Amino acid sequence: MSQAETAALASVQNAIATPQVVKAAQRLSFFGEHSAGWLALGLLGAAVDRERRKDWLIAAGGVVAAHAASIVVKRVVGRRRPDDPSVRVLVGVPSKLSFPSAHATSTTAAAVLYSRLTGRKLVPLLVPPMLVSRMVLGVHYPSDVLAGSALGAAIGGLVGRKLRRRKKGS
């Protein structure tokens, strides 16, 4: 990995990795692991919003699809997670691969899709904290989280089109 990205990652940690921030980042990590928290929220939406149950299920499926796509890309690219003395790894991870960040991918897809269903702008509320948390925890380079977020936005947009077409057809 480039020294510039390693230095940027170490700078993020040095600037904001206080015990409280690390604890919050670890909680976000747990929530986003394998997109489980986002899937649970989508299923909750389907249970509560019976009129749009199918839309919520499609959106939740889109979140899972985004996560799966990030895993495929991760395996194809094969980039290793940060491993430098200047970077502290502050959470366990399920694999040694880092590009793209699956947490960033599924969070962005969830924010895009659930924004559409809730009528709220969730992207600026949900995405930046998750992206920064992955760097605070020392498990992703900046390009990992940016690429993951771009992938999640693309998949969220594609699934969102399906939801729009469903709405027009109603």
- What is the pLDDT at residue 169? 64
**How many structural domains is the chain composed of?**
1
Segments forming the whole domain that contains residue 7: 3-169
Average pLDDT, the chain: 95
Render pLDDT for 83-117 as a digit per residue (tens, 0 to 9): 999 999 999 998 999 999 999 999 999 999 999 99
Are 90 and 20 contacting, i.e. CB atoms less than 8 angstroms apart? Answer: no
Rounded CA gap, 116 and 41, in Å?
14
Determine whether 51 is exposed, middle or buried from the number of CB atoms within 10 Å of its CB (0-12, 13-18, 19+).
Answer: exposed
What's the pLDDT at 9?
94
> Does the pLDDT value for residue 2 go beyond 90?
no
Q: Per residue in 3-53, pLDDT tens?
A: 999 999 999 999 999 999 999 999 999 999 999 999 999 999 999 999 999
In the DSSP assignment, the letter for residue 91 is S
What CATH number is given to the structural domain containing 147?
1.10.606.20
